């Protein structure tokens, strides 16, 4: 199992709305994530907008590709893109770059 951690930056003026949107993630998006192999997926948000994501999957590249192939992911990413800083023209899902794990206590 691959553990993946990534960072994104939520615009400070959109933090409250970002939290609200995640209280009601679309059921079809949740099903697509599960179907694409995303397990134990969590998002943590700091008061300054720093977003830390964590998930477990067999193959992150394959899981990302499976999500990219879904219609619901395209809708969700378009729905959420304005919440983030520094996407450089990419969708939030494309801007996720895994951090390098340097320690893990099993």
The Cα 106–Cα 25 span in angstroms is 31
Among 22, 46, 79, 104, which one carries the catalytic annotation? 22
Closest alpha carbon to 98 in 64, 70, 75: 64
Annotation says 22 is catalytic: yes
Give the active site residues. Answer: 22
């Amino acid at each position: 199992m691959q553990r993946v951690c990534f960072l994104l930056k939520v615009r400070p003026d959109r933090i409250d709305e970002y939290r609200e949107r995640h209280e009601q993630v679309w059921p079809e998006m949740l099903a697509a994530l599960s179907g694409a192999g995303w397990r134990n997926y969590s998002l943590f948000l700091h008061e300054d907008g720093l977003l830390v994501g964590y998930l477990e999957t067999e193959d992150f590249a394959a899981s990302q590709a499976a999500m990219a192939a879904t219609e619901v992911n395209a809708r969700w990413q378009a729905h959420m893109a304005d919440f983030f800083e520094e996407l450089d023209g990419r969708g939030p899902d494309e801007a996720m770059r895994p951090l390098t794990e340097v320690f893990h206590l099993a």
